[in-house]
Amino acid sequence: MASHPRHLRKQLVVVGHGMVGHRFVESAISRGLTETYDITVIGEEPRPAYDRVALTSFFEVGAQALSFLPSGRYDDPRVTLRVNTEVVAVSPRQRIVTLASGEDLHYDELVLATGAAPFVPPVPGHDLENCFVYRTIEDLEAIRDAAKKAGKSGVGAVIGGGLLGLEAANALHQLGLETHVVELAPRLMAVQVDDIGGKTLSRHIDSLGLTVHTGAMTEAVLGDKKGRVDRLALKDRNPLDVDIVVFSAGIRPRDALARAAGLDVAERGGVLVDESLRSSDEHIWAIGECAAVGGMMYGLVAPGYDMAEIVVDRLLGGEGSFTGADMSTKLKLLGVDVASFGDAHGQTEGALELTYQDAVSGVYKKLVISEDGKRLLGGVLVGDAAAYGILRPMVASGMELPANPEELILPTSRGGLEMDLPDDMQVCSCNDVTKGEIKEAVSDEATLNDGGPCVDAACVTAHTRAGATCGSCKVVVKKIVEDHFAATGKEVDRSLCQHFRMTRQELFDVVAVHGYTRFDDIIEGHGTGRGCDICKPAVASILASLLNHHVLEPGNRQLQDTNDAYLANIQRNGTYSVVPRIPGGEITPDKLIAIGEVARDFGLYTKITGGQRIDLFGARMEDLPAIWKRLVDAGMESGHAYGKSLRTVKSCVGSTWCRYGVQDSVGLAIELELRYRGLRSPHKLKGGVSGCARECAEARSKDFGIIATEKGWNLYVCGNGGAIPAHAQLLAGDLDKDTLIQYLDRFLMYYIRTADRLQRTSYWMDSIDGGLDRIREIVVDDALGLGAELEAAMDKHVESYFDEWKATIEDPEKMARFVSFVNAPGVPDPNISFRDERGQIAPADNEGPVALGPTIPVGAPR
Amino acid sequence: MTVNTETTYEVVCRLDQIEREGGVTALVGGEAVAVIRTFDDQVHALSNYDPYSRASVLARGIVGTRTVDGEDVPFVASPMHKQAFDLRTGQCLDDPTVTVATYDVRVVDGVVEVGPRRA
């Protein structure tokens, strides 16, 4: 792939493979920097970059789920990643970095992304056994091991009540330790929130059973005889008996390499860089927490990402510069929403404050407003941060406040948000989407939703990405969409079609509650007219999901959509394609030969599908029964390629053969495909199972994807390929097989019951209030108490499964429909003809209807 | 094929061979004709050739009704891309410029007969 011999290509070395270093490499690949540079990334930790912001979820989901690069390598061969490797020196004059092994690497350009290290205050005893910091997965593993040893009555203390300290406290609490938070300042999260906000947060945390000590100074950590942590001595207070201490008293930029190399560093630490992120050496750049831009260090990931993009831009010859960052934050700490944005402390001269406090429910909101009362400068939200999505952009855009700004923070029941935001206001800061762009997506001129405008917020999110990353602006997106439809007088019509004034979910409930089995009863009781090509297949799918009967039963088959109606996939010339099921992609040579013989004998075009099956094209409708007779006799069954139903569960070869595999992915894929085969659903369903983190089965591009771990299986849901690809997201990790199947049963049945017609799982997830978290509550925590019912419904499906093609060819009544002409069953339709392409058939186009000559029947060649 | 000599109607099948809101394809005068039966047992015949997809498929479409100017219009939707055609006139309900040919059709003693193509 390299466009020049290696010695002619420039060498770029990145020191540090954390979140920012990884982002830099990703951007370098996608923006074409690797066309001119070979990149070597050096990471000190034993694993590739992972999501450090979500570190607390490590205990729940495991290291795999946090990883940004589970395969351990980048898709671009011009990038080399070396983990577990330490850089010990940089020589700017020779342009060399030296590794701990003594190896020298030449560079043309060097990017420092070494991040920051936790600051451990120099109190006596800070280095005793069981003193920890909270930064890496290894730190968390060590804390977990110590907590296990401390047992049920173990006590832990976190020194530092800032954002990271509370994350650490959450981790100790999760591990079952009695947890104390010791903070020197008079309140928690002193940087982000004010006094009342800090107190409100303290009350929340107290109520969870943690103990908060503010204004408390740690004098020493005292050890027992074995040199292990035993007590924490606090100034002017009683000491605490503790087993574990975690220091989280801030971070310091890791600038030692730069200092030793003679680069300029900032007064308070950090590699001093200018707005282009260039250090005092013109070939050395610094990004992320190790960089001090004009002397200022940024301890959040978003500015680090910005810096990474800017250096890529500069190396490509661009003019990008870093001019500061929005330090606003919104997070959920121990289940409490906390947000801080703009001038949260009212430091602007003459700033006014507007506060709302509800001590009973633990909600505190503060707005900082300019002296003239016209502009929002910043604010603090604790306990309810729903307004963050609208308030943060108001600060950023400097728009004028409404006449009644208090409405912005009052509970919605007392007024709520009624205001007109300007079109150029950025609503989604993660993906830079303005209000104007959201309105465009729903305007009549829009063409992104099947050629028309979006009709709901979920569609807008899918197409514009607004709300797709952190989700904090979703409420605003929804409001803008609703306001738009209200203003244009268009009622947001959720009706299935003109015959049913209800959604698919409502219709599903109606059919289930009444126990209907016939379309005629349903439309008579709940609809108007005689139905159409939208509601009939929808009803057919609902009936199939509920009853699992044959879709070609009399009275039922006229409801079926094109492909279901003949149990095959119609192609452009009116012929069909045939796909036998090949569970998990595993097939015996005998079956493979049988498929080949059928294709040869019926003259069918043959192609391998993306779902690890074989598709046979060009079958005339009247030949389908004979083709299937042969396939059924050879031991095969319908692959349901024609249905809105389970298609395939794709697999890699797994631990049986692969030297990397850790679990039997083929075995699981077959078991799942056989379990869910024939399951009718609102849209097609695909699954995948990978036998290790290399993910060769591409499981995360499926509606449900399973990836093997050393301990079991990780379950990902709601992914898809297609026009708007979506990666499946982790629902639960390290599951044993029984639990995995239980969760999948619940997930699939809940989707089938509640999704809209033709709504794929990713859209469905976006349309649910609470998204993936809500799905997890329902599927994993069984928050609605539906678990047993959903599992029973799936059991019923599994028990009542039968091969619908076998049932069809055994029933003369069903077979009667498979004729070319009702009055000339032996005559092939003259409209169908074929040409030759690469040794197989291909459809030949006709300009108009083709009539059969009175004397010469011109049947198409077989 | 039996040709009824006094008129130009061709017998295609018994009425009960066509399902309610279903269709069959018949070979009439060498051409593929979709013969469709509605819920109220009306029978309609139109060219089986879908002018949009250029395939001979209309008899395999879903049959229903659509409200147009307050009237319930019986239609068949092409199984290819779902354009709807008025069963009585062949008029495409989604595009006034497109029409498919229709045929005279009658039911005599439970037997469906298709006549000449209408002008």
Q: Which structural domains are found in chain A, ordered by start?
A: 6-116+253-315 (3.50.50.60), 131-249 (3.50.50.60), 644-804 (3.30.413.10)
Report pLDDT for A402: 76
Contact B14, B116 (CB under 8 A): no
Contact A286, A304 (CB under 8 A): no
Q: Chain A: nearest CA to B56, how far in angstroms?
A: 6
- Decide if B22 touches A, using CB distance below 8 A: yes
Q: Mutation target for B interface from A495, A524, A530: give the one with most B CBs within 10 A.
A: A530
Report pLDDT for A299: 85
B114 contacts in chain A (CB < 8 Å): none
Which pair of tokens denotes residue A498?
Answer: 């003109």
Report pLDDT for A768: 86
Query: Residue A414 pLDDT more than 60?
Result: no
Contact A578, B96 (CB under 8 A): no
Q: How far apart are CA A706 and CA A730, in angstroms?
A: 9
Q: How far apart are CA A183 and CA A266, in angstroms?
A: 27
Query: Residue A763 pLDDT more than 60?
Result: yes
The whole-number average pLDDT for the span A532-540 is 94
Got the DSSP string for A394-437? HHHHTPBPPS-GGGGTS-GGGS-------TT-EEETTTTEEHHH
Q: State the pTM of this model.
A: 0.60
Architecture (CATH level 2) of domain B10-107: 3-layer Sandwich (2.102)
Which pair of tokens denotes residue A696?
Answer: 């060769």
Task: Pick A293 or A411 by higher pLDDT.
Answer: A293
User: Each residue of A210-257: pLDDT tens digit?
Assistant: 999 999 999 999 999 988 999 999 999 999 999 999 999 889 999 999
pLDDT classification of A384: cutoffs 50, 70, 90? confident
What are residue B36's DSSP bridge partners?
B23, B44
Contact B64 A570 (CB under 8 A): no
CA distances from A324 to A26, A42, A268, A294, B42 (A): 23, 27, 17, 10, 74
Q: Chain A: nearest CA to B90, how far in angstroms?
A: 15
A572 contacts in chain B (CB < 8 Å): 53, 55, 80
Contact B30 A854 (CB under 8 A): yes
Average pLDDT, chain A: 89
Q: Which of A382, A418, A419 is nearest to A397 (CA)?
A: A419
Question: How much is the ipTM here?
Answer: 0.94
Q: How far apart are CA A690 and CA A652, in angstroms?
A: 6
B56 contacts in chain A (CB < 8 Å): 574, 829, 831-832, 849-850
Q: How far apart are CA B14 and CA B2, in angstroms?
A: 13
C-alpha dihedral (A127, A132, A138, A143), degrees to nearest 10: 130
Q: How far apart are CA A507 and CA A542, in angstroms?
A: 8
CA distances from A326 to A41, A329, A341, A378, A392 (A): 28, 9, 8, 11, 9
Contact A561 B62 (CB under 8 A): yes
CA angle A426, A429, A435 (to 5 degrees): 25
Contact A572 B53 (CB under 8 A): yes
* Alpha-carbon torsion (A151, A153, A159, A160), positive or negative: positive
Task: Pick A734 or A473 by higher pLDDT.
Answer: A734
Q: How far apart are CA A692 and CA A71, in angstroms?
A: 9
The whole-number average pLDDT for the span A190-200 is 87
pLDDT classification of A659: cutoffs 50, 70, 90? very high
- Decide if B67 touches A, using CB distance below 8 A: yes
Q: Which of A49, A243, A39 is nearest to A131 (CA)?
A: A243
Contact B62 A532 (CB under 8 A): yes
Q: Chain A: nearest CA to B109, how far in angstroms?
A: 17
What are residue A229's DSSP bridge partners?
A223
Query: Residue A412 pLDDT more than 80?
Result: no
Report pLDDT for A830: 93
Q: Which of A2-11, A301-310, A323-332, A340-349 has the lowest mean pLDDT?
A: A2-11
Per-domain residue ranges of chain B? 10-107
Q: pLDDT 10s per residue in chain B (119 long)?
A: 555 445 689 999 999 999 999 999 999 999 999 999 999 999 999 999 999 999 999 999 999 999 988 899 999 999 999 999 999 999 999 888 999 999 999 999 999 999 999 97
Residue identified by tokens 């409404």 is A402
pLDDT classification of A486: cutoffs 50, 70, 90? confident
3 state DSSP class of A126? coil
**φ/ψ (deg, to 5) at A414:** -105, 30
CA distances from A319 to A21, A31, A108, A406, A439 (A): 20, 15, 19, 42, 32
Task: Pick A111 or A152 by higher pLDDT.
Answer: A111
The whole-number average pLDDT for the span A359-388 is 86
pLDDT classification of A858: cutoffs 50, 70, 90? very low
Got the DSSP string for A182-193? EESSSSSSTTTS
Task: Pick A429 or A443 by higher pLDDT.
Answer: A443
Report pLDDT for A465: 79
B62 contacts in chain A (CB < 8 Å): 532-533, 536-537, 558-559, 561
Contact B72 A562 (CB under 8 A): no
Chain A residues touching chain B at CB-CB below 8 Å: 498-499, 529-533, 535-537, 554, 557-559, 561-562, 565-566, 570, 572-574, 621, 816, 820-824, 827, 829-832, 845-854
A827, A846, A854 ranked by CB distance to B54: nearest:
A846
Q: Which of A269-283, A446-460, A717-731 has the lowest mean pLDDT?
A: A446-460
Q: How far apart are CA A676 and CA A649, in angstroms?
A: 9
- Decide if B77 touches A, using CB distance below 8 A: yes
**φ/ψ (deg, to 5) at A71:** -75, -15
Contact A570 B11 (CB under 8 A): no
The whole-number average pLDDT for the span A164-186 is 91
Got the DSSP string for B55-110? EE-GGGSEEEEEEETTEEEEEEE-TTT--EEETTT-BBTT-TT-B--EEEEEEETT
A652 is in an annotated binding site: yes
Q: Which of A809, A823, A752 is nearest to A566 (CA)?
A: A809
User: Each residue of A777-830: pLDDT tens digit?
Assistant: 999 999 888 899 999 999 999 999 999 999 999 999 999 999 999 999 989 999
Q: Which of A215-219, A451-455, A601-605 has the lowest mean pLDDT?
A: A451-455
Got the DSSP string for A454-514? --SHHHHHHHH-TTSSS-TTHHHHHHHHHHHHHHTT------SBTTB-S-HHHHHHHHHHH
* Alpha-carbon torsion (A291, A296, A301, A306), positive or negative: negative
pLDDT classification of A429: cutoffs 50, 70, 90? confident
Task: Pick A596 or A430 by higher pLDDT.
Answer: A596
